[in-house]
Amino acid sequence: MAVEFISGMEHYEKVVARVASVRSSLWIGTADIKDLYVKAGSSTEPFLAVLAKLLKRGVEIRLIHAKEPGPAFREDFDRYPVLKTGLERMLCPRVHFKMLVFDFETVYIGSANLTGAGIGMKGSSRRNFEAGILTDEPALIEAATEEFDSVWRGDHCSRCGRRLYCADPIK
């Protein structure tokens, strides 16, 4: 693969669809997250159902997002109790990056938030214009995971200037 440019519906077909095949670790960074739905056979299911299945298989999932999602997301979240205990989640009002790190072997880096119009399965007339890369290039994976992990560790907290707005400060 090396580096592959992703746009339009490819976000769903090549990025979101890859989530279900994660074996050990999934890191998700997004500014916005909503009640995203995915294909499940001939039907659809909440993206959170996919994450719940991964957690039950023992996959480590970390999620960083900038703000609390709306009530529809909360309703879906509450339907899967394993998310409350197994999903490692943090809010950071400064996060604007969008990335998914799959088993530290592949990474998506792009513009799409974890929403139906951003990375989800919405039709072409209801999608945002998004662009990104999907890569297995070691240097890009390392840089992306370090950027994600630096936020996760709270390396930026002391100088971010938004502590007043941070619901759950790391440091």
Q: DSSP letters of 105-119?
A: TEEEEES--BSTTTT
Instruction: Give the closest residue to 49 by CA, choosing from 88, 103, 15, 87.
Output: 87
Q: Which residues contact 137 (CB under 8 A, 6 or more apart)?
A: 2, 3
Query: Each residue of 25-51: pLDDT tens digit?
Result: 999 999 998 888 888 889 999 999 999
Confidence of residue 171 (pLDDT cuts 50, 70, 90): low
3-state helix, strand, coil in the chain (%, to 5): 35, 25, 40
- CB distance 156 to 170 below 8 Å: no
- Calculate mean pLDDT across residues 46-74: 93
pLDDT at 128: 86
